Amino acid sequence: MEFSNTGGMRSPFSPRVKSVAGRRPIGLNSSKKNQSSLLQSTEQQSGDVIYKSPSMTIETYGAPLPVMVTETLAFASGDVSVRMSPCGWCWLVAGRRILAWPRETSTPGVPTAARELTLPQTDLAHKADLVMLFYEDDAQMPSCVGVSPEGVVRYWASVGVEGTYSDSVCELAGQECERLVLARPSMLLLATTTCTLVRITTSRDGRAGARCQVLRPAGGWLGGIGRRVSLLFFGNMPAHPDTKLVGVVVLEGVTDLPPVSAEEAEECGNEVVALVASGPVLQLWRGSHVQEHQLRRPLTEALARAHLAQGDLSSLELTALDVHAYGPSALLLLVAIGSRTPDTRLALAHISIEGADARVTSLCPLRAPVPREDEPPRCLPLSAAPLLYCSSYVSLSTPPSGGGESEVIEVRGEGDRILGAALVAAAPLLFSRKHGVLLLRPHLRTHKTVIDSPLDSPCPSDMYEGNLSLYEIDPHEVSALATDLCGRLKTAFLFHVRRDPAVGRALAELLPRADTDVDAAIDRAVLSVAEDMLDDVPAGDPRWRVRGSAVRVALGSSAALQASAQLRDKQRAFSLFLDFLRAHGILRRFGKITRDDGSTECTLSALCGLGARLAGMRALQRRHAAGAPLLDAALQASAADDAEDDPELSEALASGALSAADVCWRRVTRLPQLLAALARLPPSADPRAAALNAQQALDILANVMSEMHSWAGQWTAWAGPVPRPAPSLGAHALLPALIQLHTRAVTQCARNCPDAALRAQVLEGAAALADLALVEAEPLRIGARTGRLYEKMRNDILQPYVDEGQIERALVLAEKFRHLQLLVDVCVERDLPRLYAYIDKFLEEGMAEIAFDRLLSAGGPKAALAIRELGERQSARLSAWLSARSDRGLLALHQLSRIRDRTTDAAARSLANAAAHERSSLRRLRTLASLSKLCTLAGDDDPTSAETRRQVEERLTLAELHDAMPRELRAHHGISDTEDCRVLDPEELVQMYIDAPMPLNELDYKQALDLTELVPDMERRDELRLRVWCACIRQDDWSSPQMDAPDRELSQKIFFRLVDLVHIMGGDLELLLPPVEDILTAPELAELVSDPRFHYLLKYGYECVDTDRDMQE
């Protein structure tokens, strides 16, 4: 729909105005059907006709633009450039972003997802001429090379893996890169603004990369030319205007090639690279061998031979504007000819290349607009006539001798311009900012009739033939009958269409009403009129007339009988209504309206939604007309629902007076219900039939929703951005039905389908629908109450792809719609380098923290990976995230990250503190303490470190004494020898030795004494030592001692062997051995103490210990 030109529409009541001098303004937006049968093309059109004239037809081409591309074109704040490649891909460059997408898909009308790449950092502006996509070695996805203006070359082996690329630098001595062309697969040529040539060779063997080689002339070559030419090649000084690069062409059929070395001959083959500067100057390169040709003189002579120049030829100014290959060994050069006056002409020169020679064989003047200095035209050499174009016009140029006038088509749509053009398989393609890829079909001119008008705008002939019935309505009669605001609004609209001054008076009565922010009267009236317009019955169909109201003002009614024409006329009427609202400032007054579910919606957004439904209904009708049997069932179901509340309609359907299609095409506002009915059609029992039906339903729904989104993008460009409303989520809403169909298609239909090709088509269609459905659901993400619902919906759509092994599809969609958790889950298990690339890309959105949580919660090698790999890349974020966690296991990992960051003192203290409080895991205690000890050894030697080291040694000793427990004692208390156990307190361990039911030896009791050293309370420590010695005494039999040999008796007792062991191991017996009085008074030894023999032996042993101590002193 052409919003910008509707203000210039004229009704049958307005004066007719003819086009001036063959120039016709167009608004490149949607299809326009010419009324003259004489101008119908004999070719079958493959797309919607955008513009048609006796000399050419411009129509849409290929798949619809991806939503991401449409949004970028609508909202880009800086320069946007586009390029189209013969490999079947297009790419758009906006800032540092590259958006690449295929022009055509296997499913017509369904857009594909764009691949987004990021160019190197630069202080200058990136452009599409420095990006190239191409296929290598039968790859499934194309490779990409992007070059910054300074010469940084970035190479992606596959556009499907955005984060995997390699960078290399061309040493260009400060020159600026201008053009990148593909010589052959894996070899590209880069030219600077001053005609320096660089060969770029890509390689996918091993690690993918690109090698840059600046081609320089052989030694001594500069000796035979002047300084000006050396500057031309190497750019060591600021470029002269004559040295500015115009184009780069690769010729493969030049004969008598100049000799080069064998190595260079193998490298460049039979290719000759032609660089043209604006001088005009031509350089022919083969390898490092270069030949320069000044073209000014041969061009001037060609002008003289053609009698196109008179007088002093030296006064002519010749400037090369564009160059193209013409056959295997010739060039077509577009030249601007000026004689130092404002009169500038264009000519096309044919230059033949033979070996190292270049000859101008012919020169043909062109009838074309005077070129502008700020934007010279470029050309495409078509077989019918040269096509000249710039951002503001397209022209099929003819020579003056051919008679007639060249047709110049000016692009006047608001915000529209031509961004690029290319010859692909001999087909001229244009790229419009509003319409995307367009195909230009030149044809012979047989008539000179001028009947064309702005696209998708009602031309006078259309209206006069009576298709739009609103021109038959008398606004004065409507004014007399109008009793409410809607009636007065319709009256004002009809006056506007007729350009009647009374519209001012009507609006004066309409607009002064007091408005409110929500549900203002004017907002409600506008939406009511718009809905009635879209649901109006066709006036030309007698089956509907008897059911219409006699007093109803049908603004959207059509006299046509075909459904496509009826919907077209509704779109024209709707376009006029929007122009009316904008022209009189009503759009600026809109506020919000209350929806049926109680939420509020911007009135502009609601109006945009009505227009999108109309665009979607037209797309759906086209699919039905092309043959879509599945739609018939959906039409029947939707019409039956409509008839439930309308007995008259039900009777008409039952009698056959109206078909289900008639009912559905008329009620445009019920498009969501119709699409939901299509999505809810029950699957077939046969797996192949179910998959085929699912593929058709997915294809239709994706096509319709793509048209709706495209219309919404055009609305944004016309009316400015408006907040999108949250979609309805009721039981009969469209979005839940789409999600159900998508899930069923992926998890049932595709999985059970026996045909691999059909299964691939189902998955492709499901991915396209998933993209569109998630775009539709995105407003839910920003709602406080609907955010979690959106996340669940997003996961329900994307998770089936992971479950079915469609990992690449899942990652592409997850990346676009920021499902960071899914990206992390998939990449952790499959592709760690890709995970790191995603983390860098979505760093500010918290993806690093999501990855930390996923890896550290898994433990083991995954936790080590988080510390080693991610910690190295995102050290500060990992430290901050670990600091905020209360889990002690994560706290230890936090200290590991500190160790990596060389803050060892702080790490030692934190680890020692964690070890001191560790109770659940002996292994973790040992790890924490060991790491802390390591940190103290690596850190500074200060009092704080000494205290930390003492704490760590105590914890390590406790761990060792855990391990040293006798196996029988461990088994008695249920402590495993191989598995981890909880950390026992020293007192608890000592008590185990004291209460041991099995025999122990002196070594075991020595360990119990060592454990008492770890008891912090001194009194409790002495008490435990006493009890250990008493337990040791109870281990022996004191009932029949050998009193005649007390020394031998003592040596057999564990108690005295323990005394010897403590003494031998350097223990302090004065500290560890309790006084004999304490032992003799111990309650647990009361029975033994009553035996004088025991009393004697114990005191005898103590006396021996004292004697030995005195002797040693």
pLDDT of 879 reads 64
**Statement: residue 1096 has pLDDT above 90:** no
Q: What is the pLDDT of residue 153?
A: 95
1045: exposed, middle or buried (Cβ count in 10 Å: 0-12, 13-18, 19+): exposed
Q: pLDDT at residue 777 above 80? A: yes
Q: Specify the range with the lowest mean pLDDT, choosing from 331-345, 396-410, 752-766, 969-983.
A: 396-410
**Overall residue count recorded for the chain in this entry:** 1113
List Cβ<8 Å contacts ≥24 apart for 641-650.
641/673, 641/677, 642/667, 642/670, 648/547, 649/547
- The yes-or-no verdict on residue 237 having pLDDT over 50 is no
Using the Cα atoms of residue 416, residue 420, residue 425 and residue 427 in order, give the sign of their dihedral: positive
* Integer CA distances (angstroms), 345 to 295, 301, 308, 892, in order: 17, 16, 10, 78
pLDDT, tens only, 411-429 = 877 778 899 999 887 789 9
Cα–Cα distance for residue pair 499/859, rounded to 1 Å? 76
Q: Note the pLDDT of residue 361.
A: 81
CA distance 795 to 675: 23
At 455 the pLDDT is: 29
Residue 549 has pLDDT above 60, yes or no: no
Instruction: Give strand pairing partners of 379.
Output: 388
**Which of 434, 1034, 1028 lies closest to 715 in space, CA to CA?**
434
Of 865, 873, 864, 868, give the one whose Cα is nearest residue 900: 868
Structure tokens at 387: 């096509």
Closest of 807, 736, 707 to residue 767, by C-alpha: 807
Q: What is the mean pLDDT of residues 655-663?
A: 81
Query: Which structure tokens are listed for 520?
Result: 């203002």
pLDDT of residue 205: 78
Identify the DSSP state of 78.
S
Q: Is 137 helix (H, G, I), strand (E, B) or coil?
A: coil
| Whether pLDDT at 447 is above 60 | no
What does the pLDDT look like over 997-1038, one tens digit per residue? 888 888 888 888 888 888 888 888 888 988 998 988 888 888
At residue 144, the pLDDT reads 94
Q: What is the reported pLDDT for 509?
A: 60
Tell which wins on pLDDT, 868 or 897. 868
What pTM did the predictor assign?
Answer: 0.49
Q: Which of 541, 524, 540 is nearest to 532 (CA)?
A: 524
Which pLDDT value is given to residue 429? 92
Given a cut of 90, is residue 98 above it in pLDDT? Answer: yes
Using DSSP, state whether 724 is helix, strand or coil.
coil
Residues 6+ apart with CB under 8 A from 745: 694, 695, 697, 698, 762, 765, 766
The reported pLDDT for the residue numbered 614 is: 92
pLDDT at 585 over 80: no
Query: In the structure, what pLDDT confidence band is assigned to residue 1078 with cuts at 50, 70 and 90?
Result: confident
Q: Is 417 exposed, middle or buried (0-12, 13-18, 19+ CB in 10 A)?
A: middle
CA-to-CA distance for 345 and 365, rounded, in angstroms?
A: 8
Q: What is the pLDDT of residue 461?
A: 33
Q: What's residue 886's pLDDT?
A: 54
> Model confidence over 45-71: pLDDT tens digits?
457 888 877 778 888 888 888 989 998
Please check the confidence at residue 148 and state whether its pLDDT lies above 90: yes
Q: Are 163 and 841 in contact (CB under 8 A)?
A: yes
Q: What is the mean pLDDT of residues 527-537?
A: 86
- Name the token pair of 130: 């420095």
Q: How confident is the model at residue 16 (pLDDT cuts 50, 70, 90)?
A: very low
Sign of CA dihedral 381, 386, 389, 393: negative
Backbone angles phi, psi at 515, to 5 degrees: -100, 160
Find the DSSP H helices in 243-398: 262-268, 296-305
* 581 pLDDT above the threshold of 70: yes
Q: What is the DSSP code string of 618-648?
A: HHHHHHHHTT-HHHHHHHHHHHHHHHTT-HH
Q: Which pLDDT does position 449 carry in this prediction?
A: 28
Return d(Cα 293, Cα 274) in angstroms, integer: 11
Question: CA-to-CA distance for 350 and 333, rounded, in angstroms?
Answer: 7
Query: In the prediction, which pLDDT does 310 show?
Result: 61
Residue 691 has pLDDT above 60, yes or no: yes
The C-alpha atoms of residue 431 and residue 3 are separated, in whole angstroms, by 19
Q: What is the pLDDT of residues 459-473, one digit of tens each?
A: 333 333 346 667 667
Q: Which two tokens stand for residue 876?
A: 């500060």
Residue 881, pLDDT > 90, answer: no
Mean pLDDT of the residues in the chain = 78
- Alpha-carbon distance 274 to 332, whole Å? 12
Rounded to 5 degrees, φ, ψ at 773 are -65, -40
Question: String of b and e for 809-825 (b: at least 16 CB within 10 Å)?
Answer: bbbbbbbbbebbbbbbb
Quote the pLDDT of residue 859. Answer: 62
